């Protein structure tokens, strides 16, 4: 165990970020990229649906919530890598694992959880369950790509 700790410490001389921090930064950057795509493709999601999850409204509020969600999901990404024994990944692996993670996040949160949550809070334009939208899938895949790549570079 001591040799693992020494090896890990030696590997970490090029960056000051812990895995959870790299996940947070990657998640925020990924959410900003996804948010820019959403602002162009589906602005109503940012301006109405995302804020409605919390009883709020407005595009700036929607983007702020979206980016916060991205940061939290970035920490989850880092935790899952750590649980799998792989906190250090190269850019290609980070990007591909990130895309897979983005697709899983889409399948669970965007397709099922968000429409149920919007219905539960009485949002009149809540989509049906399942909410399968290609724009959302591509946006979540882009989020995962940026998250995984950023994570690999920073961690």
**φ/ψ (deg, to 5) at 76:** -60, -40
- Which residues contact residue 125 at a Cβ distance below 8 angstroms, ignoring those fewer than 6 apart? 44, 48, 49, 118
Residue 11's pLDDT band, with cuts at 50, 70 and 90, is: low
pLDDT tens digits, one per residue of 55-112: 999 999 999 999 999 999 999 999 999 999 988 899 999 999 999 999 999 999 999 9
Q: Tell me the whole-structure pTM to 2 decimals.
A: 0.90
How high is the pLDDT of residue 16? 72
Closest C-alpha among 75, 67, 30 to residue 46 = 67
Closest C-alpha among 53, 49, 27 to residue 136 = 49
Q: How far is CA 14 from the centre of its chain?
A: 25
- Which residues contact residue 26 at a Cβ distance below 8 angstroms, ignoring those fewer than 6 apart? 74, 77, 98, 146, 147, 148, 149, 150, 151, 154
Sorted by where each begins, the domain ranges of the chain are 17-154
């Amino acid at each position: 165990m001591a040799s693992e700790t020494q090896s890990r410490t030696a590997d970490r001389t090029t960056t000051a970020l812990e895995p959870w921090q790299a996940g947070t930064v990657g998640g925020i950057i990924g959410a900003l990229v996804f948010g820019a795509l959403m602002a162009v493709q589906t602005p109503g999601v940012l301006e109405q649906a995302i804020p409605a999850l919390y009883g709020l409204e407005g595009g700036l509020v929607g983007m702020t919530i979206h980016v916060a969600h991205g940061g939290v999901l970035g920490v989850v990404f880092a935790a899952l890598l750590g649980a799998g024994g792989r906190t250090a990944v190269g850019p290609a692996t980070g990007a591909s694992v990130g895309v897979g993670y983005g697709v899983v996040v889409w399948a669970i949160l965007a397709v099922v959880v968000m429409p149920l949550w919007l219905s539960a809070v009485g949002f009149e334009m809540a989509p049906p369950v399942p909410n399968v939208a290609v724009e959302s899938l591509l946006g979540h895949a882009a989020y995962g790509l940026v998250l995984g790549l950023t994570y690999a570079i920073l961690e």
